[in-house]
Amino acid sequence: MFHHSSKLQYEVRVDNPDPQFAKYLQQAIGGVEGEIRVAMQYMFQAMGARGDAKYRDMLMMTATEELSHIEFLGHAVALNLEGAPLTVQEEATRDPVVKAIMGGANPRHILSSGLSAMPVNSNGVPFDMSHIYATGNIAADMMANAMAESGGRVLASRLYNMTDDAGMKDMLSFLIARDTYHQQQWLAVIEELGGWEKALPVPNSTPEEHEAMEHSYYFLNTSLDEPTPEGRWTSGPSLDGRSEFSVRDEVKPEGQKPDLGKARPHSATQVEQQ
């Protein structure tokens, strides 16, 4: 069950409100790199967690933290919209420069939300919940989470560069820090479970007889003119310790030429196809 306290997790200060930056910040709320995504992803993973209960607890605790991030980012968006023009009089609409700057704002911050945050990204596209990745497999889920936090910290770093407002930089430095931790938190679970050697291939419970193992350890060079890019993935022991990496570069289809034959009667195809 959830509870709330009335103060924000972190202080939010905006020295110079900026409607364009409000639009940019939306990416951290409703973007695929944003906080709605991680809050909901960790919550759904927690609700489906099977196995050692401590992972479920950890997921739910961090889901709860991410909800608090949505909250203070939402406040940051609203503060950046303070003073945005609500009428063409204020806007000094005949000043083409002012008008142009407003052209870079999200019109829905004025028209739809009344100068506050929305669950959309920086293009105004609403977040959709298909981005909540939760497979029930703890290794797959931990990777999804580490990935989400990596995307999140990339985004926060870019936002940090795109503002010179001291308050916003301070808030973003906090987000950058928490994303640092969360990346490691999820990867630490994999380390605790034995690292890649034990976790891979995910799922590590798939019986070997379900796998055509002769195809499991080669890099396939599908290029007609480019040599194989050599690296850790083309030779040496596989990360799961089961085999050696190799390369296949004379690519040869192993299957048939597909042929579905004629269409059946009553298939609403053209007569010529039947």
Q: Is 69 annotated as a binding residue?
A: yes
Annotated binding-site residue? 223 = yes
Of the candidate residues 15, 92, 103, 166, the single one contacting a copy of itself (CB under 8 A): 103
Please indicate if the annotation marks 57 as binding a ligand.
Answer: yes
The residue type found at 227 is: P
Per-residue binding string, a copy of itself, 75-94, x by CB under 8 A, is x--xx------xxxxxx-x-
Q: Which of residues 138-197 bind a copy of itself (CB under 8 A)?
A: 138-140, 143-144, 146-147, 150-151, 153-155, 157-164, 169-170, 172-174, 176-181, 183-185, 187-189, 191-193, 196
- One residue of 14, 36, 42, 80 binding a copy of itself per CB under 8 A: 36
For residues 10-39, one letter each, b for 16 or more C-beta atoms within 10 angstroms of the residue's C-beta and e for the rest, the string is bebebeebbbbbbbbbbbbbbbbbbbbbbb
Both structure tokens of 235: 């030779």
Of 38 and 118, nearer to a copy of itself (C-beta) is 118
Can you tell me which of 15, 51, 166, 244 binds a copy of itself, judged by CB under 8 A? 51
Residue 17 is a binding residue for a copy of itself (CB under 8 A)? no
Among 15, 92, 136, 244, binds a copy of itself (CB under 8 A): 136
Interacting positions 191-230 with a copy of itself (CB under 8 A): 191-193, 196, 199-206, 210-226, 229-230
**Cα–Cα nearest to 77, from 37, 123, 122:** 122
Q: Does 33 bind a copy of itself (CB under 8 A)?
A: yes
Amino acid at 14: V
Contact status, residue 148 vs residue 62, Cβ threshold 8 Å: no
- Whether residue 50 contacts residue 136, with contact meaning beta carbons closer than 8 Å, is answered with yes
Binding mask 106-125 for a copy of itself (x = CB under 8 A): xxx-xxxxxxxxxxxxxxxx
Quick check: 15 binds a copy of itself (CB under 8 A)? no
To the nearest whole angstrom, how small is the minimum distance from the Cβ of residue 6 to a copy of itself? 4
Cβ distance 34 to 151 under 8 Å?
no
Phi, psi at 155, each rounded to 5°: -60, -50
DSSP 3-state of 244:
strand
The answer to whether 182 is annotated as binding is yes
- Show Cβ contacts of residue 9 under 8 Å, excluding neighbours closer than 6 positions: 65, 68, 69, 71, 72
Contacts of 135 by beta carbon, 8 Å cutoff, 6+ apart? 141, 144
Known binding residues for Mn(2+)? 35, 66, 69, 149, 182
Known binding residues? 35, 57, 66, 69, 149, 182, 221, 223
Known binding residues for Ca(2+)? 57, 221, 223
